[in-house]
Amino acid sequence: MAEQQPIPYGRQHITEADIAAVVETLRSDFLTQGPKVAAFEEAFASYVGARYAVAVANGTAALHLCALALEVNEHSRVITTPITFVASANCIRYCGGTVEFADVDPATILLDINHVRRLVESKPKGYYSGIIPVDFGGNPVNLQELRELADAHNLWIIEDACHAPGGYFYDSHGEKQLCGNGNYADLAIFSFHPVKHIATGEGGMITTNNEALYQKLLRYRTHGITKDPAHLHENHGGWYMEMQDLGYNYRISDILCALGLSQLQRADAGLARRRGIAKVYEQAFKEVPGIQEVATAPAAIGASGDTGHAYHLFIIRVQDRKGLYDFLRQHHIFAQVHYIPAHTMPYYRNLGYQKGDFPVAEHFYSECLSLPMYPSLTAEEQQYVIEKVKEFVAHV
Ligand SMILES: *Cc1c(COP(=O)(O)O)cnc(C)c1O
């Protein structure tokens, strides 16, 4: 193969059908607030098995709307993981609340439920308001376990499922629970940034089974305004609407939803391809000294050997991570690091966090590298990546 072709860690996959869908919307009567938004919401809700879905401008707007709907304010304390994109924590700060990080599990790198339990049990009920677990890398959080803990302490849950559309874990009855299906989390959010599973450029989605939260999200998405006669205080005629809360313009356009709908039709195929790529990496690195992998959450592994891991990322852990990163770049392989722990960012340090606060997360950060993982990665390109990784670790 041409070794000069750059191989990124993730990229979108756009087909002629996607392009045709966007063009059709450009020729239609609605560029925004038309039929494609509702159609995308309905199809996405059904894809993840949730009752309601609200499409929004991006994943960060989705998180902000969730925090608003759950009435996060300056008295709220919310627990989340430091190994995530900073937006998972920032949504609490947008509403004036306090972010309380907890460390991650050393094997799965998901929020450590034992650490969360220690936190909530050390304080009176009501001290914490909620938890934002993240299906990091596509590895699904066991939300059944987390829900039990949340219920015992009166906490809400926002599942940040940006990495895991189509991911699942098995509950204690052996039932498959899709990420974002709303059975355990109050709200779940997704992003359609080009590196995520489904791309609209910018875009996001909130899913829930809670009708009251759903109604709030619809209002908050569009300035806090409602026109629904059933929810008005007065009614002056056909034009009448009320701004009932301070909302935002976090809407997404019909153009983007047309793309999302088209992409969603290939979501299962893309996910199957990601799982296939992961299997090849796992086989290749299994016996290689110096390369460690991140464990799949135990509840995500089915009795028949199926995996609920959604593989947004394929992460390896190596001692000389910087060396490997630089070596791969020299060979046009653009691996990436997910994530610099959020609590070590200057902004969060200014709020009182320090290096050393979450040693498991920080140790993981020192070793992790996300290898190319996207449906259009060819078998040839993947073999080249594997060869270069092995070449590097064999020489250190
Ligand atoms: C991408 C991402 C977000 C934010 O989504 P945007 O659409 O980029 O705003 C939030 N959380 C996680 C874990 C993400 O990966």
87 lines ligand 1 (CB under 6 A): yes
With a threshold of 0.75, does the pTM exceed it? yes
- pLDDT for 5 equals 84
User: What atom in ligand 1 is closest to the CA of residue 88?
Assistant: 11
Residue 374 CA, ligand 1 centroid: distance in Å? 17
Establish whether domains 16-264 and 267-394 are of one fold. no
Residue 206 CA, ligand 1 centroid: distance in Å? 12
204 lines ligand 1 (CB under 6 A): yes
User: What atom in ligand 1 is closest to the CA of residue 163?
Assistant: 15
pLDDT digits 0-9 by tens, 165-196: 999 999 999 999 999 999 999 999 999 999 99
Residue 164 has pLDDT above 60, yes or no: yes
165 lines ligand 1 (CB under 6 A): no
pLDDT digits 0-9 by tens, 249-304: 999 999 999 999 999 999 999 999 999 999 999 999 998 999 999 999 999 999 99
Residue 377 CA, ligand 1 centroid: distance in Å? 22
User: What atom in ligand 1 is closest to the CA of residue 191?
Assistant: 7
- Averaged confidence pLDDT in the chain: 97
Residue 86 CA, ligand 1 centroid: distance in Å? 8
Place of tokens 């394929």: 314
259 lines ligand 1 (CB under 6 A): no
- pLDDT for 2 equals 52
Residue 55 CA, ligand 1 centroid: distance in Å? 14
Residue 236 CA, ligand 1 centroid: distance in Å? 41
Pocket test for ligand 1, best of 162, 179, 337 (most atoms within 8 A of CB): 162
Fold that domain 16-264 belongs to in CATH: Aspartate Aminotransferase; domain 2 (3.40.640)
Pocket test for ligand 1, best of 58, 60, 92 (most atoms within 8 A of CB): 60
163 lines ligand 1 (CB under 6 A): yes
pLDDT digits 0-9 by tens, 121-146: 999 999 999 999 999 999 999 999 99
- pLDDT for 395 equals 87
81 lines ligand 1 (CB under 6 A): no
User: What atom in ligand 1 is closest to the CA of residue 312?
Assistant: 15
Domain parsing of the chain, residue ranges = 16-264, 267-394
Residue 49 has pLDDT above 70, yes or no: yes
- pLDDT for 274 equals 98
Q: What homologous superfamily does CATH list for 267-394?
A: Aspartate Aminotransferase, domain 1 (3.90.1150.10)
Pocket test for ligand 1, best of 191, 197, 337 (most atoms within 8 A of CB): 191
Confidence of residue 219 (pLDDT cuts 50, 70, 90): very high
**Residue range 196-218: average pLDDT?**
98
Confidence of residue 4 (pLDDT cuts 50, 70, 90): low
